[in-house]
Structure 1
Amino acid sequence: MNQQFGGRQRFANGKVFLDGVWRTGLDVIAADGIVTEIVEAQTEQHGHIASGHAERRASVDAECRIDLQGRMLIPGFIDLHVHGGGGFDVTSGTAADVAKAARFHASKGTTSWLPTTMTAERAVTEQAVQNIRQAMLSGTGGAEIVGIHLEGPFLNPARCGAQPVDRMRMPSQEELDTYLRLSDHQVRLITIAPELPDALAVIRYARSRGITVSIGHSDATYEQVRAAVAAGASHVTHLFNGMRPLHHREPGVAGAALMLDALTVELICDGIHVRPELIDYVFRTKPQEKIVLITDAIEACGCAEGRYQLGGQEVDVRHGEVRLATTQDLAGSMLTMDQALRNAVQFSGLPLASVLPMLTAHPARQIGIADRKGSIAPGKDADLVVLNDKLEVEAVYVRGKQVSASPN
């Protein structure tokens, strides 16, 4: 299925995931990186198209027919929270490093992503957003960069997780404005602790600039979370990790995230950050359209065990877990989106059709790109993934161009 073509492409003879259901007997046609048509499958009789129109025959001759051989054709995965991969770090790396991370994750089915910065010195973050923007403008040859996720620096040291406490700062509209200017206004998502001084004002300002605001690394009470929602917060960063846990008299961030339908939650579905049974519980209790699967992957993702970097901090990878070398706190993951999909189906027992939107349509909606990403439909980008019956990625197309299985 290793096919490249500059004109029209016809994805045929597969199971297509359309509008939340599986459809057969349909061909998906793409041209110039856009899905143009979804039509009834071609039928040929004695070497001629059944319609018999000569112009139809000429059009078909000009197409590249991609025979899916009964495999599944799905929208590409969209990862809103990823710090690196394939040996490359987003925060401390160059624009070329960001592009290499994009190629690695594309090989696992991710077609769009938000490179995610760690809390760092201001100068480091300023350089990081410029590097991400440069990679975005140059193109990555892999997953498309659709914006930037700032995970910090406006976080609460009490719930720091793997974020460095000494680099955290109070919420500042001026600092956020700097990142917007340096990135050409490409910040799509920001994680913030809403209980900090001036946080609600920054949340309101971020929303006014079209940024999705996520609550994370926060010690907020239930009422403080409600105030953040009123100010415009609509997202929760890696549910259960880096936040005040649920208590029966003080629901905290975790409890509010489960109870408030205005909030969409991220889940790291690796079975390490959140126990599989609890993931199943969230799937059964939270409205499924309010769940987004992420990787929180770091540069070590896809690499051998050993010592790596995460935004300038040393981390150790052992037995599939990433931990800070100094404190042994969990520090990101080795997860890829294709594995997150397989895990979610295994942990929950939900049908594939119920889980897929958590990696496609839901994240697209959360960052305001659902008009062109997250589903297969005419007019949307031809970001397509071919899965076999083991839910393994067999081919990836970003805007109609097949991505190499090799990240480099």
Structure 2
Amino acid sequence: MMNRLFLKNATVYAEKERIEQGYVLVEGEKIVDIGPMSSQPDVNGATVIELDSHHFVVPGFIDIHIHGAAGADVMDATTDALQTMATVLPKEGTTSFLATTMTASSDLIERALQNTAHYIQFHNRPGEAEVIGIHLEGPFISPKRAGAQHPRNIMEPNIQLFKKWQEAANGYIRLVTLAPEEKNGLELTAYLKEHGVVASIGHSDAIYEEVKAAIQAGITHATHLFNGMRGIHHREPGVAGAVLMHDEVLCEIIVDGIHVAPEMVRFAYRNKGSDGMVLITDAMRAKCLGAGVYELGGQEVIVQGEQATLQDGTLAGSILKLKDAVKKMIEFTGCTLEDVIRMGSWNPAKQLGILERKGSIRAGKDADLVVLNQEYEVVMTFCRGKLAYSK
């Protein structure tokens, strides 16, 4: 008998509408029906979850840029590390994510890719956040914009090496952060586009004209807007200016109030709107652990309060939780919960080409559901129909 779930009486943020006093019916891993309680279906044999109008049922969040959490890191290249991430992320409403690598030696990157591919094939299971692919961040970046990526391991963009890595990853590399202005950068960008991989400009020192050429070559994404890129100058719009002005580029943004000032989050939102942005955490292993000294991509990271930095003060990833990015985005910009769902669920699913099963609440899609209260705190998370977290 297939496991059935019936969430009732909540405000449901469905794909096409908001249903006050609505329900969601789940069978196995899928949503089978949604609607108003006035047209309640037969729920015989279902586990009934009684909610109320103060609860919002929203689609699970998709974090397409995350390195680690709770002491684990994708670069550890172990099943345990990915398992730890998959187990803790539903607490913040994240139901799927791209395992994100770092600029490291070729061997270490390859090990992390093989490990993630193996995990996706054999260890993804309902009740845990799903690893939906890999985000290769570096090593094809600009030495001038290394940020917390280890400068010793930066390499020129290289199609042959990428092919080898994609083979090691069993085709699961879905997104690549690169500096297209570097030698062979435009060639790699065009190759990625041709092979259905999202090419993202990031850790880049490109000037406006170089970004324009890169967009023509196939850039459709920008990695953590404003961070690790040439900023806006009134005589040279830089990477940040170019991606804000081109609607074909979807911008990631780290909304923790540290990586980007609240005013600049608002500025970006005014330019891109909820259709042009995606909320990410860029979190590292220190997330969920508190203050201390940690490791990221072979470098020491000091965590104090809400901030993670290298010894020289360079920001080194974040310890942000996606549920907090949601709250801060609403606070900084005055956007609606619908807007946040766009940026946290729909846009990443659309960008990765998985809208047929993720990114919104609709019959036939994966039952990746988050129940929020009026303070936007996570009350429950379901990953593919199975309870993954309950407050």
The answer to whether the superposition gives a TM-score over 0.5 is: yes
Q: Which residue of 1 aligns with 2:300?
A: 314
1:19 and 1:404, CA in 2 relative to 1: closer, same or farther beyond 3 A? closer
Query: Contact 1:36–1:379 at 8 Å: present in 2 too?
Result: yes
Q: What letter is aligned with 2:302?
A: D
Query: Contact 2:100–2:136 at 8 Å: present in 1 too?
Result: yes
Structure 1 segment 27-46 matched on structure 2, within 5 A: 27-41=23-37
Query: Contact 1:96–1:135 at 8 Å: present in 2 too?
Result: no
Q: CA deviation at 1:263?
A: 0.7
1:38 and 1:404, CA in 2 relative to 1: closer, same or farther beyond 3 A? closer
Query: Contact 1:92–1:311 at 8 Å: present in 2 too?
Result: no
Q: Percent identity?
A: 41
Q: Which residue of 1 aligns with 2:184?
A: 198
Distance 2:2 2:69 in 1: 29
1:242 alignment partner, SS class:
coil
Query: Contact 1:117–1:125 at 8 Å: present in 2 too?
Result: yes
Which of the numbers 8, 23, 27 marks the counterpart of 2:19?
A: 23
Q: Which residue of 2 aligns with 1:52?
A: none
Which of the numbers 90, 93, 102 marks the counterpart of 1:118?
A: 102
Q: CA deviation at 1:20?
A: 5.9
Q: Which residue of 2 aligns with 1:401?
A: 386
Q: CA deviation at 1:287?
A: 3.2
Q: CA deviation at 1:235?
A: 0.3
Q: CA deviation at 1:9?
A: 1.4
Which string of whole-angstrom CA distances, capped at 9 and with x for unpartnered residues, describes residues 335-372 of structure 1?
Answer: 01000001111111222222221001011111111111
Q: CA deviation at 1:61?
A: 2.2
Q: Which residue of 2 aligns with 1:371?
A: 356
Which of the numbers 148, 157, 170 marks the counterpart of 2:156?
A: 170
Q: Which residue of 2 aligns with 1:104?
A: 88
Distance 2:344 2:228 in 1: 22
Distance 1:85 1:151 in 2: 17
Distance 1:370 1:118 in 2: 27
Which string of whole-angstrom CA distances, capped at 9 and with x for unpartnered residues, describes residues 139-170 of structure 1?
Answer: 26521000000001100000111111110101
Structure 1 segment 62-81 matched on structure 2, within 5 A: 62-70=45-53, 71-81=55-65
Which string of whole-angstrom CA distances, capped at 9 and with x for unpartnered residues, describes residues 77-106 of structure 1?
Answer: 000100000111111241211110121112
Structure 1 segment 212-223 matched on structure 2, within 5 A: 212-223=198-209
Which of the numbers 107, 124, 128 marks the counterpart of 1:139?
A: 124
Most deviating of 107-116 and 348-357? 348-357
Q: CA deviation at 1:405?
A: 5.3
Q: Which residue of 2 aligns with 1:347?
A: 332
Which string of whole-angstrom CA distances, capped at 9 and with x for unpartnered residues, describes residues 13-70 of structure 1?
Answer: 1000023642123321111211111234257xxxxx9xxxxxx7xx522112111223
Distance 2:377 2:66 in 1: 20
1:348 and 1:20, CA in 2 relative to 1: closer, same or farther beyond 3 A? farther
Which string of whole-angstrom CA distances, capped at 9 and with x for unpartnered residues, describes residues 240-262 of structure 1?
Answer: 00011111111110100111111
Q: CA deviation at 1:122?
A: 0.2
1:341 alignment partner, SS class:
helix
Distance 1:351 1:163 in 2: 34
Which of the numbers 46, 52, 70 marks the counterpart of 1:86?
A: 70
Q: What letter is aligned with 2:253?
A: L
2:367 alignment partner, SS class:
coil
Q: What letter is aligned with 2:327?
A: R
Q: Which residue of 2 aligns with 1:390?
A: 375
Query: Contact 2:243–2:251 at 8 Å: present in 1 too?
Result: yes
Distance 2:291 2:357 in 1: 38
Query: Contact 2:150–2:297 at 8 Å: present in 1 too?
Result: no
- Given the alignment of the two structures, is residue 282 of structure 1 paired with residue 274 of structure 2, yes or no? no
Q: Which residue of 1 aligns with 2:44?
A: 61
Distance 1:25 1:106 in 2: 25
Q: Which residue of 2 aligns with 1:225?
A: 211
- Following TM superposition, where does structure 1 have runs of at least 4 consecutive aligned residues deviating by more than 3 angstroms? none
Q: Which residue of 2 aligns with 1:10?
A: 6
1:388 and 1:329, CA in 2 relative to 1: closer, same or farther beyond 3 A? same
Unmatched segments (≥5 aa) in structure 2: none
Larger radius of gyration between Structure 1 and Structure 2: 1
Distance 1:81 1:226 in 2: 24
Q: Which residue of 1 aligns with 2:221?
A: 235
